[in-house]
């Protein structure tokens, strides 16, 4: 799903995309010309400044300092009239002077407690002031982070736009894991015995080799041949069912993506590479990477055999190649040979093999006049090559 | 049972704060005029009354209910008025204007945070006690539905068209000439994200026209320290051409709308957004961030912004300024949308809702 455009205008006569394209081009131009400079861009994401503020600590301390001292000399009055009133006042004053020593002790204790409270509050206020400064600075940092985050987010959004529009353009091939590829291969790829017979011709290149790998080994036809001839080899395939079937036959196989497998091999560690019907599953850029990795991982002099359906045969294209939904595109024999050679391989040759059964091909005629028959048969031969060319080819090379 | 008397039907409005210039205050006055036109007795009761409106409303404690009265309660914030109205032994109609999320005011205005936080609880207390809950946008109505209010409907804000008849010539003269002029009208509070408007304008001044002007119309009274921070922000950018007007009279507001080449809002929370309708009324092209009720109020008019990219939005404003064809198309859709908010239409809608509740008005309404 693609992200909506930055703006929405519900009016079919207004072309939003054209407007935004023009706007983006203008911004890009202003960037190139230095009008929309990095300084301006920084300004766009400056955070809202914090304002200095206090916690009103002066007022708190002032209020506390006024209430520390206790006054025990409160005025003594009487609401009664003379002579009783003055007598009561005099009596109370006498009583106060007698008990003064006692009240003074209590007042001193209360004052001492209050001073302690004030001191404690001063410490709390100081602590609060420190915390306030810390909080202000944290707030500033958060604002800066927020603006950086906004900037990053907007960049990511722009990149996402680009990625999603690119993703639509990229053809995503179907992987073998999406279908039952083992069953598909059994039905349409030929049974293992037949494949063994077809691959026998390539054994000669691997004689005396060790550390041979069969990349995309499938049901293990070539691995079996290698084992029979005492050539140590390892199979690699990414389809789990294929790997399991090979292991059932005690073949030495690992499950891995081919390119990932090659990337982790040491330089010059492989004694030979055989890959049948693999290259047509790769995108062009993967194919180039694959051949580079083959060259990187093979020992000097080690053989490379790459087999693929012959796309030059119409019969192969229609009856084999396009039947397999996991195929990306046919690889022309000469293209593959060129890529192998240009990566530094030597003695590169193309071997075509496996003819289309004779009964499917156009047959030559024995009838008619010699010159007419000869011309007709010549054309039939040409047509047979074009329509019913060899089913497979192999590019053979040495590092 | 009919619960109105033809001779003395009382429909009274209750509003936490009655202030001039804000959307709710203006609607309260327009509704009062309407109820009186329809022959009802109609008074306004409030918790706070702005000095400029002294005499036009009473403090709510002075209200004494009569059994046939109807209370119209404007709800947007928590207040002691909620409990008072909820307990009144008369029929109540809630007019819900949405509640701004409290988090926008944290660090700016702690008292307001407390009021906003308790607002949802107070709103829910009206679920069973009000006869009808009206919302000024579909966006707000969905809020009520989410709180399980059984009877809800949409009533767009009733515009008081008379407000804009006069224009302050001094403002027009002061800003005549010069570069393009952009306008943002709202309370200066954090949820309106006015710093984003400033950022867009900053790009415009730096990269498009150093003559451009930005009018930020609205009061910062409820925003705590947001307005000082915003002003500091403008200073720290070294940005000229920004005018903070504070709260303005209707005539001054009309002048700013007349001056504006485009209306811009980057607000992240709106329950209705009255300035959008005002922009339609004054033929000012709208560029608005898609949040809250904004897409409902615009309903296809103006330009909605999905992502805040200051550079792209500023360039978009420039396209509007220099492309009369685009501007004309935008305005044509805005005019069509304005029809939806025609006072006659809203009044008919309101009268219909109230009559369904059994309220019979002594006088016929326009078009009713």
What residues in A contact B319, CB-CB < 8 Å? 19, 22-23
Q: How far apart are CA A44 and CA A42, in angstroms?
A: 5
> What does the alpha-carbon distance between residue A111 and residue A114 come to, in Å, rounded to a whole number?
5
Residue of A nearest to B196 (CA): A44
Rounded distance, CA A28 to CA B315, Å?
12
Q: Which residues of A touch B202 (CB under 8 A)?
A: 40, 43-44
Top residue of A4, A10, A15, A138 to mutate, by most chain B CBs within 10 Å, is: A10
Size of interface A-B (CB pairs under 8 A): 88
Q: Which residue has the higher pLDDT, B30 or A61?
A: B30
Closest to B104 in 3D by CA, of B188, B191, B186, B196: B191
Q: Is the pLDDT of residue B100 over 90?
A: no
At the top level of CATH, the class of B11-161+341-356 is alpha beta
pTM more than 0.90:
no
Fold annotation for A177-398: Rossmann fold (3.40.50)
Mutate to test the interface with A, among B306, B322, B329, B332 (most CBs of A within 10 A): B306
Collect all residues of chain B within an 8 Å Cβ-Cβ radius of residue A14. Answer: 326, 329
A139: chain B residues, CB-CB within 8 Å? 107
Give the Cα-Cα-Cα angle B184, B188, B194 (nearest 5 degrees): 55
Residue of B239, B302, B309 best to disrupt the A interface, most CBs of A under 10 A: B309
pLDDT at B368: 38
**Greater pLDDT, A365 or A297:** A297
What are the pLDDT digits (tens) for A275-286? 999 999 998 888
The alpha carbon of residue B282 is apart from the nearest alpha carbon of chain A, in Å, by 20
Nearest to A10 among B236, B300, B305 (CB): B300
| Ordered alpha helix ranges (H), chain A | 16-32, 38-44, 57-65, 84-169, 181-188, 192-199, 221-228, 240-248, 258-263, 284-297, 314-319, 333-342, 370-387
Tell how far CA A20 is from the center of its chain.
Answer: 29
- Say which of A36, A46, A139 has its CB closest to residue B236: A46
Domain boundaries, chain A: 45-169, 177-398
CATH architecture of B166-340: 3-Layer(aba) Sandwich (3.40)
pLDDT band at A1 (very low <50, low <70, confident <90, very high): very low
Residue B230 has its nearest CB partner, among A8, A9, A48, at A48
User: Mean per-residue pLDDT for B4-11?
Assistant: 68
Q: Is the pLDDT of residue B331 over 60?
A: yes
pLDDT averaged over every residue in chain A:
85
Residues within 8 A of B (CB atoms), A 49-68 only: 49-51, 53
Judge: B199–A44 Cβ closer than 8 Å, yes or no: yes
CB contact under 8 A, B229 and A10: no
**Of B278, B233, B229, which is closest to residue B256 (Cα–Cα)?**
B278
A251-269 average pLDDT score? 89
Cβ pair A139:B203 closer than 8 A: no
Chain A residues close to B303, C-beta within 8 Å: 7-9
Q: Which residues does B133 contact at the CB level (< 8 Å), separation at least 6?
A: B93, B94, B96, B126, B144, B149, B151, B152, B153
| Nearest chain A Cα distance for residue B306, angstroms | 5
List residues in chain B touching A: CB distance below 8 A: 107, 195, 199, 202-203, 206-207, 225, 228-230, 232-233, 236-237, 290, 300-301, 303-313, 315-316, 319, 326, 329-330, 333
Percentage of chain B lying above the pLDDT 90 cut: 68
Q: Are B229 and A48 in contact (CB under 8 A)?
A: yes
Q: Mean pLDDT, to the nearest integer, of A382-398?
A: 92
- Select the highest-mean-pLDDT range: A263-267, A317-321, B310-314: B310-314
φ/ψ (deg, to 5) at B217: -100, 125
Q: What is the average per-residue pLDDT within A156-171?
A: 77
Residue B2 pLDDT grade (very low, low, confident, very high; cuts 50, 70, 90): very low
- pLDDT above 90 for A137: no
Q: What is the pLDDT of residue A181?
A: 80
Please report the pLDDT score of residue A18 as a whole number: 93
CA-closest candidate to residue B169, choices B252, B265, B237: B252
Q: Is A362 helix (H, G, I), strand (E, B) or coil?
A: coil
B302: Cα separation from own chain's centroid: 18
Is the pLDDT confidence value at B106 over 90? no
Contact between A398 and A346 (Cβ < 8 Å):
yes
ipTM of the complex model: 0.84
pLDDT tens for B204-251 read 999 999 999 999 999 887 777 888 889 889 988 999 999 999 888 889
Kindly give the interhelix angle for B110-124 and B80-87, rounded to the nearest 10 degrees: 20
Q: E strands of chain B, at which residues?
A: 11-18, 44-49, 58-59, 70-75, 91-96, 132-135, 152-154, 181-185, 213-217, 242-246, 262-265, 286-289, 303-305
Residue A18 in contact with partner chain B when CB distance is under 8 A: no
Give the pLDDT confidence score for residue B22 in this predicted structure: 78
Does the pLDDT at position B261 exceed 50? yes
From chain B, the residues in CB contact with A11 under 8 A are 300, 329-330, 333
In chain A, which residues have their Cβ closer than 8 Å to the Cβ of B230?
Answer: 48
Asked if A24 reaches chain B (Cβ–Cβ under 8 Å), the answer is yes
Average pLDDT over residues B39-44: 95
Return d(Cα A46, Cα B233) in angstroms, integer: 8
**B154–chain A nearest CA distance, Å:** 23
Domain locations along chain B: 11-161+341-356, 166-340
CB neighbours of residue B142 within 10 Å: 14
Q: What is the per-residue pLDDT across B143-175, written as a single tens digit (0 to 9) for each?
A: 999 999 999 999 999 988 778 889 999 999 888
**Residue contact A10–B329, C-beta within 8 A:** no
Q: Which residue has the higher pLDDT, B366 or B49?
A: B49
pLDDT at B110 over 60: yes
Query: Best of B304, B307, B335 to disrupt the A interface by mutation (most A CBs within 10 Å)?
Result: B307
Mutate to test the interface with A, among B208, B303, B329 (most CBs of A within 10 A): B303
Whole-number percent of chain A with pLDDT over 90: 36
B290:A46 CB<8 A: no
Residue A152 forms contact with B (CB below 8 Å): no
The reply to whether residue B333 touches residue A11, judged by beta carbons under 8 angstroms, is yes
Q: What is the rounded average pLDDT of the residues A322-340?
A: 91
CB contact under 8 A, B195 and A48: yes
Task: Indicate the burial class of B70 (C-beta count within 10 angstroms; 0-12, 13-18, 19 or more).
Answer: buried
Q: Work out the average pLDDT over B24-33.
A: 93
Higher-pLDDT residue of A372, B213:
B213
Question: Is residue B361 predicted with pLDDT exceeding 70?
Answer: yes
* Residue B367 pLDDT class (50, 70, 90 cuts): very low
What is the pLDDT at residue B6?
A: 45
CA distance B178 to chain A (A): 21
Cβ(A294)–Cβ(A397) below 8 Å: no
Identical fold for domains B11-161+341-356 and B166-340, yes or no, is yes
Helices B310-322 and B324-338, interaxial angle, to 10°? 90
Residue B313 reports pLDDT greater than 90 = yes
Of B233, B310, B311, the CB nearest to A49: B233
Going across the sheet that includes B242-246, the strands are A7-8, B303-305, B286-289, B262-265, B181-185, B213-217, B242-246
pLDDT given at position A126: 75
Q: Min CA distance, B205 vs chain A (Å)?
A: 10
Kindly give the interhelix angle for B250-259 and B274-281, rounded to the nearest 10 degrees.
Answer: 60
């Amino acid at each position: 799903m693609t992200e909506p455009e930055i703006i929405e205008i519900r009016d079919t006569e207004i072309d939003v995309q054209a407007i935004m394209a023009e706007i983006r081009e203008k911004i890009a131009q202003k960037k190139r010309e230095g009008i929309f400079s990095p300084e301006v861009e920084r300004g766009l994401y400056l955070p809202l400044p914090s304002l200095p503020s206090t916690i009103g600590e002066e007022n708190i301390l002032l209020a506390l300092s006024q209430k520390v001292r206790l006054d025990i000399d409160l005025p003594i009055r009487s609401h009664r009239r003379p002579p009783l009133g003055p007598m009561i006042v005099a009596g109370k004053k006498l009583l106060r002077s007698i008990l003064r020593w006692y009240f003074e002790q209590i007042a001193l204790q209360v004052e001492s407690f209050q001073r302690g409270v004030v001191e404690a509050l001063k410490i709390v206020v100081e602590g609060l002031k420190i915390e306030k400064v810390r909080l202000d600075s944290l707030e500033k940092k958060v604002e800066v982070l927020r603006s950086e985050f906004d900037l990053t987010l907007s960049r990511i959004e722009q990149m996402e736009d680009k990625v999603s529009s690119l993703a639509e353009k990229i053809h995503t091939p179907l992987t073998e894991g999406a279908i039952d590829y083992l069953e598909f291969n059994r039905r349409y790829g030929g049974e293992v015995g037949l494949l063994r017979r077809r691959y026998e011709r390539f054994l000669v290149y691997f004689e005396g080799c060790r550390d041979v790998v069969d990349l995309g080994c499938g049901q293990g036809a070539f691995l079996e041949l290698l084992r029979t001839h005492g050539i140590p080899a390892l199979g690699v395939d990414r389809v789990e069912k294929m790997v399991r079937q090979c292991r059932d036959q005690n073949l030495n196989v690992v499950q891995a993506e081919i390119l990932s497998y090659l990337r982790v091999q040491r330089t010059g560690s492989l004694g030979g590479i055989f890959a049948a019907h693999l290259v047509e599953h790769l995108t062009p850029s993967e194919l180039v990477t694959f051949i580079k990795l083959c060259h990187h991982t093979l020992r000097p002099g080690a053989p490379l055999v790459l087999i693929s359906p012959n796309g030059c045969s119409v019969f192969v294209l229609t009856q084999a190649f396009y039947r397999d939904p996991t195929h990306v595109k046919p690889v022309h024999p000469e293209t593959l040979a060129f890529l192998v050679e240009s990566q530094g391989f030597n003695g590169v040759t193309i071997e075509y093999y496996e003819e289309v059964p004779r009964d499917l091909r156009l047959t030559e005629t024995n009838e008619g006049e010699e010159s007419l028959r000869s011309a007709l048969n010549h054309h039939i031969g040409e047509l047979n090559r074009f329509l019913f060319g060899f089913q497979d080819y192999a590019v053979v090379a040495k590092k | 049972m009919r619960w109105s008397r033809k001779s003395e039907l009382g429909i009274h409005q209750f509003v936490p704060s009655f202030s001039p210039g804000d959307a709710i205050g203006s609607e309260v006055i327009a509704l009062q005029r309407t109820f009186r036109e329809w022959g009802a007795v109609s008074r306004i009761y409030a918790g706070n009354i702005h000095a400029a409106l002294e005499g036009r409303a009473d403090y709510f404690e002075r209200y004494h209910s009569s059994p046939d009265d109807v209370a119209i309660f404007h709800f947007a914030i928590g207040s002691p008025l909620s409990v008072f109205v909820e307990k009144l032994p008369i029929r109540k109609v809630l007019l819900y204007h949405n509640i701004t999320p409290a988090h926008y005011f944290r660090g700016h205005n702690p008292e307001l945070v407390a009021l906003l936080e308790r607002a949802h609880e107070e709103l829910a207390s009206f679920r069973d006690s009000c006869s009808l809950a009206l919302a000024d946008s579909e966006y707000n109505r969905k809020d009520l539905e989410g709180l399980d209010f059984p009877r809800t409907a949409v009533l767009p804000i009733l515009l008081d068209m008379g407000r804009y008849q006069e224009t302050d010539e001094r403002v027009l003269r002061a800003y005549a000439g010069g570069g393009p002029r952009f306008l943002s009208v709202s309370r200066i509070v954090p949820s309106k994200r006015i710093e984003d408007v400033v950022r867009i304008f900053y790009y415009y001044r730096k990269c498009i026209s150093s003559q451009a002007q930005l009018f930020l119309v609205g009061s910062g009274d409820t925003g705590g320290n947001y307005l000082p921070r915003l002003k500091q922000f403008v200073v720290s950018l070294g940005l000229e051409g920004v005018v903070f007007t504070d709260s303005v009279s209707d005539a001054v507001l009309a002048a700013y709308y007349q001056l504006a080449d485009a209306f811009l809002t980057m607000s992240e929370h709106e329950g209705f957004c009255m300035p959008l309708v005002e922009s339609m009324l004054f033929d000012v092209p709208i560029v608005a961030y898609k949040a809250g009720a904004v897409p409902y109020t615009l309903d296809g008019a103006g330009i909605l912004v999905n992502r805040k990219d200051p550079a792209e939005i500023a360039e978009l404003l420039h396209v509007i300024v220099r492309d009369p064809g685009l501007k004309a198309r935008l305005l044509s859709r805005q005019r069509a949308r304005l029809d939806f908010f025609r006072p006659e239409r809203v009044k008919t809608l309101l009268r219909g809702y109230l009559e369904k509740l059994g309220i019979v008005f002594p006088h016929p309404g326009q078009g009713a």
